[in-house]
Amino acid sequence: MVKLDETPAAGRLSSLHHYGWAIVGMATVLQLTTNFISQAFSILIVIMQDEFGWTLTSIIFAYFFRSIVSAILSPVAGWMADRYGSRRTLVIAGICYTSGLLLLSTISTQWQLYLYYSLILGVAQSLFRVNIPTTVAAWFKKRLGVAVGIQQSAGGMGSSIMAPALALLLSRTDWETAFWIIPAIGGTIVFSLVAFFHGDPADRGKRPYGATDDDPPPADTSNPAITKLRSKVFLKQARQTRAFWNLIGIHYLGCIGHSIVMVGVVFFATRPEQGVSLQAAAFIISIYTLTASGSRFAVPVLADMFGAKWVMAVAYTIQGISVALLFWTHDPWQFYLFATVFGVGLGGEMSAFLVIDRQYYGMGPVRAIFGFQNLGSGIGMAVGGLLGGVIFDMFGSFDIAWIISIATSLGGAAFILLLEPTSRVLIPDWEDALPPEARTPAPVASG
C-alpha cells in the first residue's frame, strides 16, 4: 500500500500547492499540442486540394477513417490506462503522434494519407483524448469543474493560435518542410511532459484535491491484479445503467452536429461564391475556438455546481441553432459572427462529460466509461465530417448538411433531458461485488 502524506501541515500545503494543479497545467499543454491538427483539418483540405488535386470527398475520407479508428480504440485506451497506467499509455500515444506527423511529410498518394493520418494519428488521438482529461479528473474530488474547465478551455485554444499559424506555415513553405517542423516541436513537448504526468494521486503518495481525513484512502494501484479486477467489476455494473448507453448516443449526436461544420466551414467560406481568402477563413477556426474556450471553462463549473443535465442541454441547443446562420453568410464578418455563437455551443457540448460521469459514478475508475463515450463521439465525428463532403460533391451545396447538423444537435439536447437526475450516484455500492482485499480501505479514525 502506498503511504500517503496525511499530516495537518501537508494538508494545508496541499490546498495551495497540490500536484493536481500541475497536472492541470501539463494536461492543458498536452491537449493544445496534440489536438490542433485534428481541429485544423479544414485548412489541410484546402492545401491538399491545391497540392495534390484530390477530390473533397477523398480527402475527407482521411478524417472519416481517423475518427473511426479513434472511436473504436477509445474504450481500449481507457481499459489500458485503468490497468497499466495512463503514463505508459501516453508514451505509446506520443510515439504514434510524432511518427505519424513525420510520415505525413512523405505523402504523395491517398493510401499514404489514410495510413499515416487516419491509422497512426488515429491511434494517438484515441489515447490522448481519453487519458489526458480523465487523469485530470482523477486528481480532484473537489473543484472538479474548475480543474476540468481550465484544462478544457485553455487546452482547446490550440486552434485559435495554431490554425492561422498552420495556414501561414503552409503558405510560406512546402508540405514536406512543414511536417518536419510540426512533429519536431510537438514531439519534444509531449515526451517532456509525459514523464511527470502521473495518472493517479496514489502514484505520488497523495490524495485527490479536496480529500479529507474522513475520506477512505485510495485503493492500492500498485497491484495490477487488483487494479484489473476493480476496473472489470466497476465497468460491468456501470454498463447496467441507462446513463452509460444514453451518454454514448448523446455524444454521438453532438459530434455529428459540430463535425459537419468543423470539417466543411473553411472550404465553404473559400468557395468562389463566398470569396473569403484562406487566411481570412482560418480566423473562423480561431474565433470559434476562442469562444469555445470560454464555454469549456464555464460549463463544467456550472455543471459541477448545479448538475450537468440542463447545462449540457443548453449548450447543445446553442450549437444547433447557430448553424442556421450559415444560410445567410457571405462576408468575412458574417462568418466571424457565426463562429462566435457556434463556439459557445461547441465548447459546452464536449466539456461536461467528465463532470456528469463523476455525478453518476463517483470516484470509481471511469476511464473506460469515458472511452466508450469517446467511441460515440468518434463515430459521430467520422459520420458528420464525411456527410458534409459527400453532400457537397453530390449537390454542389452544403445546405442539406447544415440542416442535418442542426437536427442532430437539437436531438442530442432532447435526449439529455431524458437522463436520470444527477443528484445521486447510480452505483454507490459497486465495491460490494469485490473481494475484501480489492475494496477501498475504510477511513482511518482520527483522534
- In this prediction, residue 308 has a pLDDT band, given cuts at 50, 70 and 90, of confident
CB proximity list for 12: less than 8 A, separation 6 or greater: none
d(CA 360, CA 342): 28
Cell digits of residue 52: 495534390
Q: What is the pLDDT of residue 91?
A: 93
Residue 382 DSSP SS3: helix
- Is 169 in contact with 161 (CB distance < 8 Å)? no
Q: Which domains are present in the chain?
A: 17-202+222-429 (1.20.1250.20)
Q: What is the pLDDT of residue 114?
A: 92
Q: What is the pLDDT of residue 10?
A: 46
pLDDT (mean) for 375-387: 88
Quick one: which of 263, 207, 230 has its CA closest to 38? 263
Most confident listed range (4-13, 55-64, 393-402): 393-402
Residue at 157: amino acid letter: M
**pLDDT per position as a tens digit, 323-349:** 999 998 888 889 999 999 999 999 888
| Neighbouring-strand partners of residue 140 | 209
Q: Could you tell me which residue, 8 or 155, shows the higher pLDDT?
A: 155
Q: Which residue has the cell 505520488?
A: 204
Q: What is the pLDDT of residue 244?
A: 94
Q: What is the pLDDT of residue 366?
A: 80
**pLDDT per position as a tens digit, 39-60:** 667 777 777 877 788 887 888 8
Q: Which residue has the cell 474556450?
A: 293
C-alpha angle with apex 190: 89 to 90, nearest 5 degrees? 5
Q: What is the pLDDT of residue 274?
A: 82
The answer to whether residue 447 scores a pLDDT higher than 70 is: no
Please count the other Cβ atoms lying within 10 Å of the Cβ belonging to residue 241: 16
DSSP 8-state secondary structure symbol assigned to residue 331: S
- In this prediction, residue 88 has a pLDDT band, given cuts at 50, 70 and 90, of confident
pLDDT (mean) for 419-437: 88
Q: What is the pLDDT of residue 123?
A: 92
Give percent of the chain with pLDDT exceeding 70: 89
Q: Could you tell me which residue, 318 or 195, shows the higher pLDDT?
A: 318
Q: What is the pLDDT of residue 41?
A: 76
The answer to whether residue 99 scores a pLDDT higher than 90 is: yes
Q: What is the pLDDT of residue 7?
A: 44
Q: What is the pLDDT of residue 267?
A: 86
Q: Could you tell me which residue, 10 or 321, shows the higher pLDDT?
A: 321
The answer to whether residue 14 scores a pLDDT higher than 50 is: no
pLDDT (mean) for 347-360: 85
Predicted TM-score (pTM) of this structure: 0.72
Q: What is the pLDDT of residue 220?
A: 59
Most confident listed range (111-115, 157-161, 215-219): 111-115
Chain center to CA of 383? 17
The answer to whether residue 194 scores a pLDDT higher than 80 is: yes
pLDDT (mean) for 183-203: 87
Q: Could you tell me which residue, 7 or 274, shows the higher pLDDT?
A: 274
Mean pLDDT of the chain: 83
d(CA 249, CA 440): 32
**pLDDT per position as a tens digit, 226-265:** 778 888 898 899 999 999 999 999 999 999 999 999 888 8
Question: How many residues would you count in the chain?
Answer: 447
Q: What is the pLDDT of residue 156?
A: 64
Torsion angle in degrees (nearest 10) through CA of 254, 370, 340, 38: -90
What DSSP line would sit under 248-305, residue for residue?
HHHHHHHHHHHHHHHHHHHHHHTSTTT---HHHHHHHHHHHHHHHHHHHHHHHHHHHH
**pLDDT per position as a tens digit, 398-410:** 999 999 999 999 9
d(CA 302, CA 313): 12
For residue 386, what is the enclosing H or E element?
helix 367-395
pLDDT (mean) for 207-224: 69
Q: Could you tell me which residue, 103 or 438, shows the higher pLDDT?
A: 103
